[in-house]
Amino acid sequence: MIHLRIVTRGGKTDRALELLERSESVCNVVLLSGLARSPAGDVILADVAREDASVVISDLKELGIPKDGAISLEQIDTMISEQAERAVERARGAPADAVVWEEVEARTSENVELSGTFVAFMVIATLLAAVGVYQDSAILIVGAMVVGPEFGPLAGFCVAAVQRRGDLALRSALALAVGFPLAIGAAYLATIAFRATGLFEDSFTQEGHSLSNIIAAPDFFTFFVAACAGAAGMLSLSTAKSGALIGVLISVTTIPAAANIGVAAAYQDWSSWRGSVTQLGINLGSIIVAGTTVLHVQRLLFIRRKARHLGDPERRAAGLPARRRGRARTRSRPSS
């Protein structure tokens, strides 16, 4: 379930209470009258079934609560309550399939920021992969995949495409546009330094290293695996199944491809360089397309669920319209 902490002001408290108390998927409603100090107002605590969390929050937003108050969400790991069990049973759908869109937006906004930490992880992961490419070490390659933070901005692109948020798309693009060139440059400089000190041999070739050969030879399965990983990654992000995301990171070869670009450039192996650039491009594009498709389907299901909710009694009790104005005008037109 999801725990809500709501700060309300003015006459919105009574309307919010009517909405929450009459909703079958909400339980444990508590009113702390006048306890909020900044902003001054009332505090409402409530627990809502995960399946209906975004629907209930959408109604609270329609009441205008975020304008001069606040709505906070917190995941409840364990709750011992028969009322909570009944609330989950009455909610439509399954908790495992539920998408709390506010959580998705918050996670995405946090993971697309271009920061020193993001760049550091990109560089470290690519350096690990560069050594893995040279030593033909699958262990190092897999480790680099897990360390790489690039899925955050890729997921940001998917969310931006579905919700039509240009600001989020620009932030995601900036993170990738800065992160990958810096990581590739670090792999290139590290390879040059290792060759100069004798740690890397001058006779390195793609043919003698199977992992480098695979990375530099994209085919249909490059697209197929990246698309599957993108779909799984978005499902993991939207349904809070974080364990699946580790498998997604290990499935795609974005970081190894970036590392191989730097290594190949340092050895002037332009055939391997071109193949690795293609590998990176296919992976990035496939992940974005597949992730956007999955998120779009989930968004359509949410819109349908929200449309069915417009006539529910709790909305009428809170003084919210039973139908959107645009939809009401459409239905009122006489048929020809």
Per the CB < 8 A criterion, the answer to whether 238 and 108 are in contact is no
| Integer Cα distance of 118 and 124 in angstroms | 10
Calculate mean pLDDT across residues 22-48: 93
Write the DSSP assignment of 4-50 as a string of letters: EEEEE-TTHHHHHHHHHHH-TTEEEEEEEEEEEETTEEEEEEEEE-G
Q: Which residues of 52-70 are buried (b: 16+ CB within 10 A; e: fewer)?
A: bbbbbbebbeebebeeebe
- Is residue 104's pLDDT more than 60? yes
The enclosing H or E element of 238 equals helix 220-238
Which residues neighbour 97 within 8 Å (Cβ) at sequence distance 6 or greater?
A: 51, 239
- This prediction's pTM: 0.82
| Integer Cα distance of 273 and 321 in angstroms | 59
Please give the single-letter amino acid code of residue 128. Answer: L
Count of alpha carbons within 13 angstroms of residue 299, beta-carbon side: 17
Neighbours of 174 (CB within 10 A): 14
Give the CATH number of domain 2-97; options: 3.30.70.120, 3.40.50.10540, 3.30.1330.10, 3.40.1410.10: 3.30.70.120
Give the pLDDT band (50/70/90) at residue 213: confident
Q: Is 229 exposed, middle or buried (0-12, 13-18, 19+ CB in 10 A)?
A: buried
Q: Among 154-158, 257-261, 320-324, name the one with the lowest average pLDDT.
A: 320-324
**Per-domain residue ranges for the chain?**
2-97, 104-301
Which residues share a beta bridge with 40? 37
User: Helix, strand, or coil here: 320?
Assistant: coil
- Is residue 203's pLDDT more than 70? yes
Q: Name which of 73, 66, 52 is nearest 16 in CA terms.
A: 66
Q: Name which of 19, 77, 7, 4 is nearest 313 in CA terms.
A: 19
pLDDT on residue 242: 59
- Is residue 330's pLDDT more than 50? no
Sign (positive/negative) of CA torsion 194, 200, 204, 209? negative
How far is CA 191 from each of CA 86, 202, 249, rounded to the nearest angstrom?
61, 10, 24
pLDDT per position as a tens digit, 132-186: 999 989 899 999 998 999 988 999 999 999 988 899 999 999 999 999 999 999 9
pLDDT on residue 89: 87
The pair of three-digit structure tokens given for residue 234, joined into one six-digit string = 């978005």
Q: What is the mean pLDDT of the chain?
A: 87
pLDDT on residue 173: 94
Calculate mean pLDDT across residues 14-24: 92
pLDDT on residue 309: 86
* Long-range own/partner contacts, residues 194-199 (CB < 8 A, 24 or more apart): 194/134, 195/266
